[in-house]
Copies of this chain bind each other. A is one copy, B any other.
Amino acid sequence: MKKAIVLVSGGLDSATCLAIALDEGFECLALSFDYGQRSNSELEAASRVVRSMQGVNRVVHKVMKIDMSSIGGSALTDQSIPVPTKEKSGIPHTYVPARNTIFLSYALAWAEVERAEAIFIGVNALDYSGYPDCRPEFIEAFQSLIGLATKVGVEGCKIKLRTPLINLTKAEIVLSGISLGVDYGLTVSCYQASEAGLACGMCDSCRLRKKGFADSCQSDPTRYFYELDGMPLD
């Protein structure tokens, strides 16, 4: 049976990505990272998402504990840098240096050992925070690296980097996931979710997620603990 590594953060995009990989008939090896991020509730969400998608195809889930907070440089890995709650131009402080390069490197190692033929990552370059490592040109460069970096690549096996969401709006992602039975109530997207998984409603990730539900006319199952500009968020 064909295998895929799927990066699963616990958020809306990666849950959709996992559902797509399963729908395509892959045996999925879900990979999450405990990298010192602000909120542990994402990892709990990742576990819930994986459990909810166990079905005909087996889903293995590996959570790797890796050290990124000793490097810091981001609001997500350095508690002294606040998470921005207003939209600004440019790449926001929530950008984590080289995060997707690091995550994909581990995914590549696991794909090689497991002889997986694909790596799925839920990057999106439309309704996104402007992170450089979510753009198609980054994905293409990493794809070029894959064949050169590995023994299986030298032997002629091709591991395909799959980004099924990259050209979708957040609304299209929501509709795609709902059509595949994704329960978005299990997911946590907020950059500073509470331990209980309640979302702030103000960070970039919350704003994009809200927009996705609003634009797709779907009810938003997210549990928020703040109000933005005095307006109720759900």
Contact = CB atoms under 8 A, between A and B. Distances in A.
A154 B129 CA distance: 14
A109 B150 contact: no
A132 B109 contact: no
A109 B71 contact: yes
A4 interface: no
A225 to B, nearest CB: 30
A148 to B, nearest CB: 4
A64 interface: yes
A2 interface: no
A138 B142 CA distance: 11
A66 interface: yes
Contacts of A67: 64-66
Contact of A148 (B66, B108, B137): B137
B145 A145 contact: yes
Interface stretch (A44-52, A99-107, A165-173, A199-207): A99-107
Interface in A106-142: 106, 108-110, 112-113, 132-133, 135, 137-138, 141-142
Contact of A138 (B68, B132, B148): B148
B102 A105 contact: yes
B112 A145 contact: no
Nearest to A96: B109
B154 A113 contact: no
B105 A109 contact: no
B112 A97 contact: yes
A148 B104 CA distance: 14
A99 B153 CA distance: 14
A137 B154 CA distance: 11
A102 to B, nearest CB: 4
B151 A101 contact: no
A149 interface: yes
A218 to B, nearest CB: 33
Given A132-B154, A154-B132, A149 B98 contact: yes
A72 interface: yes
Q: Which 3 A-B pairs have the closest CB atoms?
A: A73-B113, A98-B109, A97-B112
